[in-house]
Structure 1
Amino acid sequence: MKDSNLFQKETLDEIKGTRSELVKVLSKEITEIREEIREIRTPLINTDNMYTGKSWHLKIQNKD
């Protein structure tokens, strides 16, 4: 019975470690995607402002 509990704990630790690694990788990917979106949006916003005279306030929340 003790062997079974030890195995379950080791497996759980592996899952937690894998999850932590995935969160780090995905967080980095999300940050890179947000930066790419900013690069695309900025010229579009500036161009739109030139033609319409309107000011647009776009919020991109950064939760790094």
Structure 2
Amino acid sequence: MSEVKKPVKVQWTPAFQSYHSAGDEAEPFCDECETYLQDDFIYCPGCGSKLDWGEHK
């Protein structure tokens, strides 16, 4: 029987520290594996975890 994982909370980079950002917006990333995410992802492409976007969706 496989263990059901809880959704992983999406974290946000501080806007001024985001190296990958083209602008000054905060960027979402997976708290489990730190893969950067698009804002329409449901599952993390890095680790496959279901994403919990909280109030950001």
Structure of greater Rg: 1
> TM over 0.5: same fold?
no
* Higher-strand-fraction structure: 2
TM-score interval (norm. to shorter): under 0.3
User: TM-score, normalised to structure 2's length?
Assistant: 0.26
TM-score (norm 1): 0.24
Q: Which has the higher helix share?
A: 1
Higher relative contact order (CA 8 A, sep 6+): 2
